[in-house]
């Protein structure tokens, strides 16, 4: 399996629940390494830019307002098949439909407050990583 990188965000609801460490443990136990991380409070412009692909969707304003409601923890994960592996760890977008044992099933409350973001493909991952990190921030390890 190719070693890939993906962008993960622990959303304001999960940061507020103080489960950043529990979510990191899931990444680590699945063989994903955190190679860059930053906690920040997004501005509206930053959240709108990050989710620009959704700007015509009816839930866009709710999504942006939620993402700026508190600090988020943003990380680059690296490992074999990282994009798909992180999506599998996350579970379905709607936590009510998320498979038992996934991050969203265990920590999320609603489709808005759904605990985590994860890139949905290799190209999106590269774009999303560039949105938040420079090459100098990445610390790949053997
Ligand atoms: P993801 O890749 O599983 O995060 O899902 P998407 O990329 O499709 O959507 C981005 C985010 O927008 C999701 O994580 C949800 O927080 C939110 N979202 C997606 N679909 C809906 C919806 O139908 N209603 C609402 N309120 N929010 C949604």
3-state secondary structure 12-30: HHHHHCCCHHHHHHHHHHC
Residues 72-93, mean pLDDT to the nearest whole number: 98
pLDDT beyond 90 at 141? no
N- to C-terminal Cα distance for the chain? Answer: 16
73 CA to centre of ligand 1 in angstroms: 18
pLDDT at position 46 is 98
pLDDT at position 142 is 79
H helix intervals, the chain = 12-16, 20-29, 44-50, 60-67, 82-90, 103-107, 122-132
Residues with CB under 6 A from ligand 1: 54, 59, 62-63, 93, 111-112, 114, 117, 120
At 21-55, the pLDDT tens digits run: 999 999 999 999 999 999 999 999 999 999 999 99
136 CA to centre of ligand 1 in angstroms: 31
Measured from the Cα of 51, ligand 1's closest atom is 10
């Amino acid at each position: 399996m190719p070693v890939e990188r993906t962008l993960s965000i622990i959303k304001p609801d999960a940061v507020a629940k103080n489960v950043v460490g529990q979510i990191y443990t899931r990444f680590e136990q699945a063989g994903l390494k955190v190679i860059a991380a930053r906690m920040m409070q997004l501005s509206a412009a930053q959240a709108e830019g990050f989710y620009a692909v959704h700007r015509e969707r009816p839930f866009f304003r709710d999504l942006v307002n939620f993402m700026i409601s508190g600090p988020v923890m943003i990380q680059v994960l690296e490992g074999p098949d990282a994009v798909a592996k992180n999506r599998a760890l996350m579970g379905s977008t709607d936590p009510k439909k998320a498979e038992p044992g996934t991050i969203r099933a265990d920590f999320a409350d609603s489709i808005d407050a759904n605990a985590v973001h994860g890139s949905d493909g290799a190209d999106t991952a590269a774009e999303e990583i560039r949105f938040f990190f420079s090459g100098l921030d990445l610390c790949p390890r053997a």
